[in-house]
Amino acid sequence: MAMTVAALTKGMERQDWLKLRQRGIGGSDASAVAGLNRYKSPVAVFMEKTGQVEPEEAGEAAYWGTQLEDLVAKEFMARTGLRVQRSNKMYKHPEYPWMLGNVDRLITDEHKRRGVLECKTASSYKADEWQGDRVPDEYAIQLQHYMAVLGVDYGFFAVLIGGNKFEYRYVERNPGIIDSLIKIEDEFWNGNVLKGMPPALDGSQASVDLLNKLYPESKPASEIELTAAQAELVLNLHAAKEDAKAAEELVKAYENELKSIIGENETALFKGDPVLTWKSSNSTRLDTTRLKKEQPDIYQKYAVTSSSRRFLVK
């Protein structure tokens, strides 16, 4: 399958690039649409594609990832001997034009086969996500999406971890994953975005953050009348909370039984391997209640007021 170019991106302003991305689903959107992104929900992608919210500005980590991209690519070439080049193009799938891809680099191997290189940076706190042959789910889906769009059979990740540890991973095209991705993205684009019908909210933190962003404050004394179907959700929530409470009590019961077995010991072993610990620890916190009572001026000087909405079920 030949690579189909949607647009040239060299020198393109960020706003124009964002408008271009609104025409379809990009690699960084794919895992969110598939429900496999810890930081973004399908409904958040829907809101962006339909122009209801502005895409978030790149944070500090993303900024440095971009700055270090060329360095990571050069190190990859030095270690593998493979040739890589910038593409400066937005690609689209020839059969599904709403599948878009803006890759970091294109690779040419010793057999002149084309592939995709994704350059990543990760903090030392996320080093375990790259242990062994592991790749974070959102990145793995992103690369399969790109391989589908460009019609290539392989790709690589090159990652700089903690600023001083370099690794790379070879990834082959997975037809099963790609077929599933196409179905999911097709349903999302044609069934949700083009019809203006948002996907269902899920229980992810990404959905929680989006709702807090969309509705940060309540209108005083405002009310809404629920339909019968919406009221059913309240009953479902009550039932789920009861199930969660029962599960939490069961967890506590198992924990307490194991604590009674451990006693004064710190670690419990099974066949010589540690399976759980119960260690002593100390923590220091500020007694704000006492500070407010005994040093009200100091308390007032350093107190910070924040606004949030409290969700209560009657």
Confidence (pLDDT) at 2: 65
Q: Exposed e or buried b for every residue in 151-173, given b needs 16+ CB within 10 A? A: ebebbbbbbbbeeeeeebbebeb
Tokens found for residue 1: 């399958």
Cα–Cα distance list, 94 to 32, 91, 143, 172 (Å): 23, 9, 18, 21
Tokens found for residue 81: 């001997």
Task: Give residue for tokens 């994953």.
Answer: 177
Q: What one-character-per-residue DSSP string does 46-104 give?
A: HHHHTTSSPPPPP-HHHHHHHHTHHHHHHHHHHHH--EEE---EEEE-SS-TTBEE--S
- Return d(Cα 305, Cα 43) in angstroms, integer: 30
Q: Is the dihedral of CA 49, 171, 175, 39 positive or negative?
A: negative
Confidence (pLDDT) at 81: 94
Confidence (pLDDT) at 39: 85
Contact indicator for 201, 44 with CB cutoff of 8 Å? no
Of 155, 151, 17, the C-alpha closest to 96 is 151
Confidence (pLDDT) at 312: 61
Confidence (pLDDT) at 1: 54
Task: Give residue for tokens 């690779």.
Answer: 107
Q: Cβ atoms within 10 A of the Cβ of 143, count?
A: 26
- Return d(Cα 33, Cα 146) in angstroms, integer: 15
Predicted TM-score (pTM) of the model is 0.72
In 3-state terms, what secondary structure has residue 192? helix
Contact indicator for 184, 34 with CB cutoff of 8 Å? yes
Strand 165-172 vs strand 4-8: parallel, antiparallel, or unpaired? unpaired
DSSP letter at 25? B
Of 98, 74, 101, 130, the C-alpha closest to 23 is 98
Mean pLDDT (10-residue bins), the chain, 314 residues: 80 83 93 90 91 79 88 96 92 95 93 94 92 92 96 96 94 95 96 92 75 81 88 88 89 89 90 89 84 87 74 60
